[in-house]
A and B are shown apart, each in its own frame.
Chain A
Amino acid sequence: MTLAATVGSLTTGTTHLTTGTTDLATGTTNLVTRTTNLVTGTAHLAAESRGFLSPTGVEIAFLLVGLVTFGAAVITVTTRQLVHAALWLVVALGGLAVEYLLLTAEFIAWVQVLIYVGSVVVLLLFGLMLTRAPIGRSPDADSGNRPVALAVAVVAAAALVWVVVDAFRTTWIDLDGAPAGSTEVTGASLFQHWVLPFEALSVLLLAALVGAIVLSRKAKAEARPEADAAATAPASTAPDTPGGTDTRRDTEGAR
């Protein structure tokens, strides 16, 4: 149940992100003027035509990928099949990576794939398979908080969209010039202007790591007396333990 909740919260997070990105998409649709240039043949005319939804190749691709990402995110939170939710999350996260690519932020895109698709989702799937991952619907995976979750998601998305649109309304990225999101540019800005937040984040991660180790060690210390007891118990009772866990696992597996 906790896992399902985690998936839920993660995916609502993604929904926010994707709604944010969709709006970025509409914002960025105006960025590329190259094709318009080619079509109209005059530069100044293209500069004037930075209107809403000027249809150039990259813009259309951006919008379509945004729609796919958004759809995948919605399915992630609404599907009743746990593993399907995790796999739709892959589509949503991958779609985000493609959006980064279209905005020339290549490095961020690959890191997105590496961390989220390659590690976080694999960890999620691992957790699901280890606990319960029935094929088909899991009726108990619904928390009854759907309306509240929807309200929170809509409010958060609205806030994000509003802030992003307000902040970047008149900002243009020149997609034709030198890539604004190449590894070099990203690294330079990260370690020149943003080095303090970066270090703060790494301290936070270190704290999380230490916390995880402490938690796992405590669990081990509690488990050890039982193991010792099992080892010293008469041989006749020992086989009960694995048998018991097996049956429990079978019923919990629900396959």
Chain B
Amino acid sequence: MNDVLDVALRLLVVFVVFLTFPLIVGQTEHKVMAHMQGRLGPMYAGGFHGWAQLIADGVKFAQKEDVVPAGADRRIFQLAPAVALLPYLLVLLAIPIGPDEGAVGQVIDAGVFFVLAVMGVGVLGSLMAGWASANKFSLLGGLRTAAQLLAYELPMLLTAASVAMAAGTVSLVGILDAFEWWWLPWQITGALVFFVAGLAELQRPPFDMPVADSEIIFGAYTEYTGLRFALFLLAEYAGIVVLCGLTTVLFLGGWHGPWGADGLGWVWTLLKTAVLAFVVIWLRVTYPRLREDQLQKLSWTLLVPLSLAQIALTGVVKVVFL
């Protein structure tokens, strides 16, 4: 009975995190972007500095009509948001936030492979949406999404492999157990490549070519309205949480902190994740969008060679010094 309760509790906690953290990131994005642009951002909803703005947005989305275009492939069109969103929920299950047994949804033996594999599945949702909408802009967005995924999956995998080599395990918990502070300078190239590739995979600015609003309206999501559109947006912000959490776990030491982490490991994890999420928002405000050819060039001619160099460095250090 205790086991069942334990599992249920874990699932519940992960689910609550899945529902709240993306909203927190979204609200932070509203406010941070506004202040960086010399505005105030939402100020009315909820009273205090517009804290309830996203709840109001959610209510608005729920009230809107759910339209499926006449020429669309109905079932796939309706299924796409779920395919885009659910993988991030599954990934959250595997991210450890503290050193204790209970600080991870589910310990997975091949955790690195699990998270990267499942994150890759999420892109299928965008592809399905782009194709099923029967809209040229949507199809273009889907195409760009696919091209971007194919280009950026490789450097992400390679850098994750570098960390796995350093730790000698592909388990996320095992990687954190093996972490030492000097991994930070050792794996810094990999960390940057991983983060940039992850941003591209999430289609966040400056890699938002697939949803470039000034060219193809909103890419694969152009035809979506109401709750399904909100689900796509939620997927984007859940993706930010997952990416920042993963970067924290793989490269920044997760629950390790400079002043001991007795009982406060989860604070370190959350803090690092939050700082990374802030960087994601910051990049959106400050960098112009990359053109499609620049996008591909960045991945194939810069990120892939860098990640290969990182793997070589990891191997050399591992063999010679450890």
Contact = CB atoms under 8 A, between A and B. Distances in A.
Contacts of B76: 83-84, 87
Contact of B71 (A107, A130, A135, A182): A135
Contacts of B108: 106
A253 B140 CA distance: 12
Given A87-B76, A129-B142, A117 B121 contact: yes
A121 B131 CA distance: 14
Q: Is the interface of A mostly helix, strand, loop or mixed?
A: helix
Give the most central of B71, B73, B110, B131: most A CB within 10 Å: B110
Contacts of B170: 107, 183
B150 A123 contact: yes
B172 to A, nearest CB: 12
Nearest to B136: A255
A53 interface: no
B120 A129 contact: no
B282 interface: no
B146 A255 contact: no
Interface in A100-142: 106-107, 110-111, 113-114, 117-119, 121-123, 125-126, 129-130, 133, 135-136
Contacts of A123: 146, 150
Interface in B120-134: 120-121, 123-124, 127-128, 130-132, 134
Contact of B124 (A122, A135, A179): A122
Interface string A70-97: 0000000000000110010010000000
A119 B120 contact: yes
Interface stretch (B17-25, B111-119, B185-193): B111-119
Interface residues of B, number: 35
28 contacts: A83-B73, A83-B131, A84-B76, A87-B128, A106-B110, A107-B113, A107-B170, A110-B117, A113-B117, A113-B120, A113-B121, A114-B116, A114-B117, A114-B157, A117-B124, A119-B120, A119-B153, A122-B146, A122-B149, A123-B146, A123-B150, A125-B127, A125-B146, A126-B127, A126-B147, A126-B150, A129-B142, A179-B109
What are the 10 tightest A-B residue pairs by CB atom distance, in nearest-first order? A118-B120, A114-B117, A110-B113, A126-B146, A113-B117, A107-B110, A110-B117, A183-B110, A135-B73, A110-B114
